[in-house]
A = this chain, B = another copy of it.
Amino acid sequence: MDRQEAITESLKLVERSAVCMVGTITEDGFPNIKSIFNLKHDGFKRFWFSTNTSSRRVKQLQNDKRGCVYFLDEILGQGLMLVGTIEILQDIESKKLLWTEKSEKYYSFGTEDPDYAVLCFTAAQGNYYHELSNVDFEIK
Contacts and interface: CB of A to CB of B under 8 A. Distances in A.
A104 B25 CA distance: 35
A70 interface: yes
Which of the listed residues A29, A33, A81, A83 has the most CB atoms from chain B within 10 Å of its own CB? A33
Size band of the A side of the interface?
Answer: 20 to 34
Nearest to A124: B30
A35 interface: yes
Given A25-B29, A29-B25, A30-B83, A35 B74 contact: yes
Contacts of A66: 29-31
Contacts of A31: 23-25, 31-33, 66-68
Interface string A25-40: 1100111111100000
A139 interface: no
A99 interface: no
A89 interface: no
B30 A68 contact: yes
B29 A68 contact: no
Nearest to A106: B132
Interface of A: 18-19, 21, 23-26, 29-35, 64, 66-68, 70, 72, 74, 79, 81, 83, 105-106, 132
Given A23-B23, A35-B72, 7 more contacts: A18-B74, A21-B70, A24-B31, A30-B83, A31-B31, A32-B68, A33-B81
